[in-house]
A and B are shown apart, each in its own frame.
Chain A
Amino acid sequence: MNHNSRLERAWAHYMADRTSAAIQLLKELLGEDPNHAEYHSLLAACLLQDKRLHAAEYELGLALKIDPQMPFLYLLQSNILVFKNKFKQALAACDQALALAPEFIDALLKKAEILLLLNQYAEARSCLDQAARISPDNLAVTLAYADFHLTNGDIKNAETFALEALHQDAQNETANVLMGKIRLTQGNIQEAEYHAKFVILNNPNSEQGLALFSNIKARTNWFLGLWWRLNNKLANSTQFKQITYLICAYLFFNLLSQIVEDMGHKSLSDMIGYAWLGLVVYSWVAIPIYIKMLKKELDNFQFNRDF
């Protein structure tokens, strides 16, 4: 198979979230030609998707050395910087991509997304309008508009754009999540649940689908909702954050237990000790229980005919 068709296959794998397959193909391609900027850049994109940040940055650096005029590289750089919460620098990287390719839709949408995160609504809107002028029927632009209006609290316009996006692609994950959020804001819990479950059934690892589902649960029962939110947060947070939570809990329980014991309340101190033990045991079983409950919810679920 020639280089171009393998590169095309790697792109297809990347777009379909099959990063392991894409990485394997790119490693083969780079073994044959290590000085190809596009191979390095796509590899960086795959590594970023797998949250291998250090390796992604390294590959991006190599690609930039080979071909600094490639606009996609600056978009990728912007994605990495957003991941690291460096929004101002991410914005500068987007501008660099747009300086090289002023009609680069993905860079315009990324810029709008960052501006929205920085609460610069007018500038974000102007980026979206520019993207819409370049490509009026683009699904990504429609979705970005829906998200923009939802963030601004303009539910009616958000609904119009989300419906339009669903007309373009009813299976689209982001469109379904956005519609679910809109329905939840409107108080239509049942329909919001349909969208969330539709997303999770199509992609059980969808972080945004699971987050929406937790929010829906929180609406119906605050106590159960709190449990769902906590587990969802733990399941989706980085391992470093999980370690920090666990150590903070360890310090809190043990120091409290010691203080209470020093005050002469031995039995209360023992109870705090048992509570800590319970938390440790629970932390072992929390995620399997969460996955089991989610599976149970999805197994017993039936969509109504109108959906």
Chain B
Amino acid sequence: MTDYTIIDEPKPGKFNHLIISPLIIMFASILVPLFINLPYFGRIWIPAVWLVANGLFLGSASIVKEIIMAIAAVALWFAIIFGSVYLSELLPQSINFQSIFPYSRILSQAIFFFFLMYIVNLQSTAYSLYEYMHKGNK
């Protein structure tokens, strides 16, 4: 007799050995760029891709939301950075772009981390249930 499955319970697949706590991914995405310069804006898209992959391995019930949030986080970060560069070309010469850039950087970082933390928050529920079920089966 199989147990009933509750809708928000994770359904891990064959890659369950690759599942790690989403909090570790978040801390890695904050700490690693302090020591290593990741190429091709890696500090932005690597955490997002890693979180989505972790959600897929976990069989997270909120995976669709997590993917949408990850795409939104990366897209918004690039939109703010490249948008401010584009805006600087439209601005009259009298306004110094260098003075605006630090503000757009702060804003893009805040928005990016908000989305990242939101995904971590969503995935943490599935991860804690997975951990509970995993330990319970041992």
With both beta carbons as reference points, the residue of chain B lying nearest to A52 in the complex is identified as B8
CA distance A250 to B116 in the complex (A): 14
B121 contacts the other chain (CB 8 A): yes
Q: Given the known A-B contacts A239-B121, A243-B117, are A55 and B6 also in contact in the complex, defined by CB atoms under 8 Å?
A: yes
A74 → chain B closest CB, angstroms: 21
Q: Given the known A-B contacts A255-B103, A255-B106, are A32 and B1 also in contact in the complex, defined by CB atoms under 8 Å?
A: yes
B102 → chain A closest CB, angstroms: 5
A31 contacts the other chain (CB 8 A): yes
Contact A58 B7 (CB under 8 A): yes
Instruction: Identify B117's interface contact among A20, A30, A247, A262, CB under 8 A.
Output: A247
- Interface flags, B107-134, vs A, CB<8A=1, else 0: 1011001100110010011000000100
Contact A243 B118 (CB under 8 A): yes
B2 contacts the other chain (CB 8 A): yes
Q: Which residues does chain B contribute within 8 Å of A251, judged by CB atoms? A: 106-107, 110
Q: Which residues does chain B contribute within 8 Å of A31, judged by CB atoms? A: 1-4
CA distance A119 to B110 in the complex (A): 39
Q: Which residues does chain A contribute within 8 Å of B107, judged by CB atoms? A: 251
CA distance A250 to B110 in the complex (A): 7
CA distance A31 to B110 in the complex (A): 45
Report whether over half of chain B's contact residues are helix, strand or loop; otherwise say mixed. helix
Instruction: Identify A34's interface contact among B4, B113, B114, B118, CB under 8 A.
Output: B4
Contact A54 B7 (CB under 8 A): yes
Q: Which residues does chain B contribute within 8 Å of A20, judged by CB atoms? A: 132
Contact A258 B102 (CB under 8 A): yes
Q: Given the known A-B contacts A54-B8, A250-B110, A251-B106, are A243 and B121 also in contact in the complex, defined by CB atoms under 8 Å?
A: yes
B99 contacts the other chain (CB 8 A): yes
With both beta carbons as reference points, the residue of chain B lying nearest to A238 in the complex is identified as B121
- Interface flags, B1-27, vs A, CB<8A=1, else 0: 111111110000000000000000000
18 cross-chain CB contacts under 8 A: A26-B4, A27-B6, A28-B3, A30-B3, A31-B3, A32-B1, A34-B4, A54-B7, A54-B8, A240-B118, A243-B117, A247-B110, A247-B117, A250-B109, A250-B113, A255-B103, A255-B106, A258-B106
With both beta carbons as reference points, the residue of chain A lying nearest to B6 in the complex is identified as A55
**Which of under 10, 10 to 19, 20 to 34, or 35 or more describes the interface residues of B?**
20 to 34
Q: Given the known A-B contacts A52-B125, A54-B8, are A243 and B114 also in contact in the complex, defined by CB atoms under 8 Å?
A: yes
Given contacts A20-B132, A240-B121, 7 further A-B contacts (CB under 8 A): A54-B7, A55-B6, A59-B7, A243-B121, A247-B113, A251-B107, A255-B106
A residues in contact (CB < 8 Å) with B: 20, 23, 26-32, 34, 43, 47, 52, 54-55, 58-59, 239-240, 243-244, 246-247, 250-251, 254-255, 258, 262
CA distance A290 to B1 in the complex (A): 46
CA distance A243 to B7 in the complex (A): 25
With both beta carbons as reference points, the residue of chain A lying nearest to B125 in the complex is identified as A52
Q: Which residues does chain A contribute within 8 Å of B109, judged by CB atoms? A: 250, 254
CA distance A27 to B118 in the complex (A): 29
Q: Given the known A-B contacts A32-B1, A251-B106, A251-B110, are A43 and B6 also in contact in the complex, defined by CB atoms under 8 Å?
A: yes
Q: Which residues does chain A contribute within 8 Å of B2, judged by CB atoms? A: 31
Contact A27 B4 (CB under 8 A): yes
CA distance A251 to B110 in the complex (A): 7
Q: Which residues does chain A contribute within 8 Å of B6, judged by CB atoms? A: 23, 27, 43, 47, 52, 55, 59
B99 → chain A closest CB, angstroms: 7
- A-B pairs with the 4 shortest C-beta distances? A30-B4, A55-B8, A243-B117, A27-B3
With both beta carbons as reference points, the residue of chain A lying nearest to B124 in the complex is identified as A239
With both beta carbons as reference points, the residue of chain B lying nearest to A258 in the complex is identified as B102
Contact A55 B113 (CB under 8 A): no
